[in-house]
Structure 1
Amino acid sequence: MSARAGDVTQAQQDVCRRFGYSAVAPEPMVAVALSTIGAMPVYGTRIVLLEGYTTSWFIHCGEYSDAEDFYQALHLTKLSEILPLAVPYLGLPHGSKFIIDDRGYEDVWLA
């Protein structure tokens, strides 16, 4: 599945509809803990976009770390290549969180 920055894909609209949210297009860049790719589950948090910032999504897999270099900036199109499982959730509104895994587990909520 490919995703273009600024677009809300059908899969993203479907996820939002299932949980009763209006879809909000993701920004072109996401923050991803690249060293965790391949671990499960996948955690996503969308913060309210602060002025001057370009990233609202923070995504990691498995264990979280508070290390300064835990997250790296990644273009949305690259995320669709390395972690396509997360892409359908990126239309969730600011303040959303999700936990998913490759066995079908899914939890979505608004913080």
Structure 2
Amino acid sequence: MLQSGISEGALQGEQPLNGLRHPPKNGTCGWYIWSGPDFPLDYDEFFKQMHVSHLSQRCPAVLPYLRLPPGWRFLIALDYEHVWFDPSLLDV
């Protein structure tokens, strides 16, 4: 069962939309997706678990990025897209 972590703001379409992928573990795919400029400090409470198959309906803007392997990040807004590799995400 491939779970992702997603924020309520991302599910409501708030921008900018951020995503980062850690290596998969314990049934997760490693993706964490949120809206806003900064990664939340209270991430244990902040992210909801959602099976990746539901993202197509609940947060379709992230679909083009979900095939990126662990270590990748994205930031998307109305007229902006940035995708980059962040090796620190692989240090678990």
TM-score (norm 1): 0.66
Please give the secondary structure, in 2, of the residue aligned with 1:39. Answer: coil
Answer yes or no: is the 8 Å Cα contact 2:2–2:27 preserved in 1.
Answer: no
Structure 2 unaligned spans of 5+: 87-92
Match runs of 1:41-60 below 5 Å: 41-50=16-25, 52-60=26-34
Aligned residue pair count: 83
Alpha-carbon spacing, 1:43–1:79, altered in 2? closer, same or farther (3 Å): same
Cα deviations by residue, 1:43-98 (Å, 9 ceiling, x for unpaired): 00001224x34230000011442123101110112111111001110001110000
Superposition RMSD on alpha carbons, in Å?
1.8
Structure number with larger C-alpha Rg: 1
Looking at structure 1, the residues matched to 80 and 9 of structure 2 have their Cα atoms a distance apart, in angstroms, of: 22
Residue of structure 2 equivalent to 1:40: 15
Answer yes or no: is the 8 Å Cα contact 2:7–2:46 preserved in 1.
Answer: yes
Structure 1 unaligned spans of 5+: 1-26
Q: 1:78 aligns with which of 50, 54, 77?
A: 54
Report which of the two has the higher share of strand: 2
1:31 matches 2:9? no
Query: Which letter maps to 1:74?
Result: M
TM-score (norm 2): 0.77
Please give the secondary structure, in 2, of the residue aligned with 1:87. Answer: helix
Please give the secondary structure, in 1, of the residue aligned with 2:23. Answer: coil
Q: 2:45 aligns with which of 62, 69, 85?
A: 69
Looking at structure 2, the residues matched to 55 and 93 of structure 1 have their Cα atoms a distance apart, in angstroms, of: 10
Query: Which letter maps to 1:105?
Result: Y
Q: Which runs of 4+ in 1 moved over 4 A?
A: none
